[in-house]
Structure 1
Amino acid sequence: MASDRASSGKDRTSLYAEITNRIIAELEAGRLPWVQPWGRADGPGDLGLPRNAATGRRYSGINVLILWGAVFRHGFSGQGWLTFRQALALGGTVRKGEHGTTVVYADRFIPEEERRRVARDGGEPGAIPFLKRFTVFNSDQCDGLPADLVTPPPPVPEGLILPQAEELIRATGASLRLGGDQAFYSPGLDYIQVPRPESYFEPINWHRTALHELGHWTGHPTRLNRNLSGSYGSKLYGQEELVAEMTSAFTCASLGIVPTVRHADYIGSWLEVLRDDDRAIIRAASAASKAADYLLAFLPARRGESDSEAA
C-alpha cells in the first residue's frame, strides 16, 4: 500500500516535469500569442426595464442606459437595484468588495427667496434645475435579501463543467463567482470571479481559467502564503502569473482535462517581463507543483495519498 502511494506521488512529479519540459520547448520555439478564450456573455436573463427593487419604481431616461450597460458588462441576472441603505432596510447587505453603479436624479427646486418674491409680487416662480447622484447595487451584489427580490442565475447547461473539476472546486471550499467578462482572484476579499462557461468560444477552456484563478487562491496567507502583492506588469506579478498558469497546467493534466488553449500561449505573454531571469519558469514550476498538490489533496481519493507522502 505504502509503495503504491509512493509510486503514485512519483508519477505525479514525473507528470509535472513532463508538462514543464513541454512548455519550455514550446516557448523556446518562439514567443506565442495570447488570445482571450472567452467573449461576452449572451446577456441577462431579464431584459425588462431596470427598477428599484425596494419601491418597484422604474428607472427612466439616461439611467436606463446606464443600468442596462452595467447588467450586460457584469452579467447580472436581473434588473433589480437598491441603494446600500435600502438593502439594509430589507434585511440584507451589499456583499463586501462589490462596486456600485452611479445613477442620476434630475429635479428642480425653488429657492426660498423666490417663493417670497412670488408671494409678494405674483407671477411664476423661477425653478433651478439640479442633478443628484446615487450609487445603486444590483440585487446579485447583495446577500440576505427577501427571496422575491432575488433573481436566481440561470443554471450552467449540463456538461459544460466537467464533474472532476466541479468536485475539486467544491471540495476546496473556494468562493467562486460566475459572471461578467473578467477573470481574477481577489486576495483581499478571498474570492474568485470567472465568466460563465457559456461565454467561452470552447467551453473546455473554462477549466483552464478557473484552475488558473484557483492557483492564485492557493497563495493566500492562510494557505501557501505566496507574495501576491505585485502590481500589474511587475516582475513579482509576472512570476505569480507563471505559478498560477503552471498550477492550471498540472491540475488540468492530473484531472484529465485537455484545454484547446495552450498553457504556453499564456505563459509566453508573461515571460517578457522576466527575460532577465532564465530560471523563472523552473522556480514557477516548483511553486506550482506545491499548489497543484495542495489542490488535489482536497479530493477524497487523494487525501490518504497526500498524508502518506507528508509522513
Structure 2
Amino acid sequence: MATRAKASAVRSSGERADIYQEVTDRIVAELENGRLPWVQPWSNTVAAPSVPRNATTGRRYSGINVLLLWGSLQQCGFATQRWLTFRQALAAGGNVRKGEKGTTVFFANTFVPEGQKLEAEPRAVPFLKRFTVFNIDQCDGLPIEMTAAPSPQADGDIVPRAERLICATGADLRIGGDKAFYMPALDYIQVPPRFAYFDQVNWYRTVMHETGHWSGHVKRLNRDQTGSFGTHAYMGEEIVAELTAAFVLAELSIQPSVRHADYIGAWIDMLRDDKRAIFKAARLATQAADYILAFEDATVEQTGPDQLAA
C-alpha cells in the first residue's frame, strides 16, 4: 500500500512539473515570436477587451487562465470572452459542437497528505488540476442570456471611468518630468503630463502599470520589490505590473499595451530558468488587479451607478 501511494505521489509530482513546463514553453514561444499574450489577444477577433468570464457563473477567470484564454481568443478569433465546460453547456440546455477543440485551464489548490494531518505543523502540498473549457462560440443551443452580445461601453465613458478609478485608489500621483516610475521608498507614482503622450489613452496605460507596482507596497499587498535592476526578482515584479495593468485595463475596456518591450529578452531568460515564474506572476497580478478594481466597486457602492454615470 505504501509503495503504491509513493508511486502515485511521484506520478502526481511529475504531472505538475509537466503542466508548469508545458505552459511556460507556450508563453516563451509567444514572446520569442514577438507576441505578448497579455497585449495582443484582440488583434484577430471582434471581441472587445475584457477579462474572460465563466458563462454560467459570471465569475472572472484568474491567474494563468486569463493568459491561456486570451491566447485561444487570439488564435481562434472568438467574438466573446465567455467560456464554460462541456457539462455546463449540457446543464444549460445546449451542447458543444462536434469536433470543437477546447482550451485547457487549471485549478490551483493545496492539500495536506494523510500522514501529516496529525502533525503540529502539517505541510500543505500545492497541486494543479486540468479542466477543459469551450468558448460559447463553439456551442449550440445555449440560452439567449448566455449568448447575447454584451452592451459595449461607449467610447466617451472609457477615459472618465479610468480617471475615476485612479482617483479612487488614493495613490500619490505626481505629474511632471519625462519618465514614469513608482518609488517604493517614498510610496509615490511619477508620470509625465498628459500632453507628453500622442494618444491620451497611453497616459492611462502608463498610470495603470505604475499603479500595479504601487499595489505591491508593504502597506498593501506586500510583494517583494527589493530586486535590483536586471535580476529575476526585478523582472518578475515588472511582469506582475505588466499583467496587473493588462487585467485592469481590459476590465476598463482599454486594450493593454507593453510598457517595457526592451525587457522581453530578460523575461524569456527568467521563464526558462523558472517554469513556475509565469504562474506566480499571473497569480500575484490577479491579486493586484482585484485590489485596484475594488476601489471602483467601493465607489459605485458609496455613490451609486447613476450618479457616477451623470
| Bin for the TM-score computed over the shorter chain | 0.3 to 0.5
